[in-house]
Amino acid sequence: MPYFTSQVYHSLFKFLISGPAVSLWEKGLDLLRAIIFDFDGVIVDSEPLIMKLTQQMAALKGWRLTREEYYRDYLALDDRGIVDLLYRRHGLPMDPGDRADLVQWKAKAYQKAIRAGLPAMPGAVDFVTRCASRYPLGIASGSLREEVETLLGKLGLLEKFSVLATAEDCERSKPDPAIYFAALQRLQALDAFQIQPLLASQCLAIEDAPAGVMAARAAGMKCLALGHSRPAAELSHANWVFQSFAEVNVESLQRACGPG
């Protein structure tokens, strides 16, 4: 069962039983007009590999990073943010040259590992495909553009996304909202939004990490969190929390939010 935040429990219950159309955004979102997805751990099952390579990268400096530490503290950070946090946790000043070398090592190792692709998260391909038939879609990810394009292409999903915002586009990683602002600006440039500009409040972000939820909310967006990577209780600052895509009905979402 999904974990509900108290302020939306009643309206979400109506949503789940497919009763009369009820806006889940009655207090702040007039109309759902675009959906922005996080990537790793939401669309593609990449977090175990990223964790493994991050552990290997840390070992190059003689540091040990446990699975618990990675998923609790490093999830949603881009590679630069990961290295920065590793240095802080070990009480050392950041060496920009060293950071660049570590980030480059990780990028090369990851690109080699994903050449054949990675599996999608359960239900992700169908969910994205159905959403793309109704709304412009974007990506807001701390991964590199080449990595996102490679994996989306292997899944046959690249053409479903109108815009990509990736690590190269922002100096600061989540929970800073910069990546969501970058995705929003690119969506706003689409022909579909030239007459009636797209607002942040008209976007739904889909996340799996607490820091990602913080970024989306700070950008002024509503957020649906999936419990793919963290317990539901850690995602309670999202507007809605579900365990997986299987619990989210796209058709009911469209009816609840008005025409797509």
Q: For 6-45+120-257, which CATH class?
A: alpha beta
Instruction: Kindly compute the dihedral angle of the four CA atoms of residues 8, 212, 244, 69, in this order, to the nearest 10 degrees.
Output: -120
| Full strand arrangement of the beta sheet holding 137-140 | 163-165, 137-140, 34-37, 203-207, 222-226, 240-242
Maximum Cα–Cα distance across the chain: 59
Answer yes or no: same fold for 6-45+120-257 and 47-113.
Answer: no
Q: Please give the pLDDT value at position 249.
A: 84
| Cα separations in angstroms, 167 against 102, 103, 136, 192, 260 | 15, 12, 21, 26, 29
What is the pLDDT, as a whole number, of residue 257?
53
CA-to-CA dists, residue 24 to 14, 28, 217, angstroms: 9, 9, 15
Residue 36 near residue 139 (C-beta atoms within 8 A)? yes
Which residue, 260, 208, 258, is CA-closest to 238? 208
Q: What is the number of other CB atoms lying within 10 angstroms of the CB of residue 105?
A: 15
Q: pTM of this prediction?
A: 0.86
What's the pLDDT at 99? Answer: 94
Read out DSSP for 34-72? EEEE--BTTTB--HHHHHHHHHHHHHTTT----HHHIII
Average pLDDT per consecutive 10 residues, the chain (260 residues; last block may be shorter): 42 38 40 95 98 97 97 95 96 93 97 97 97 96 97 98 97 96 98 97 96 98 96 95 92 56
Domain boundaries of the chain, sorted by first residue: 6-45+120-257, 47-113
Q: What is the CATH number of domain 47-113?
A: 1.10.150
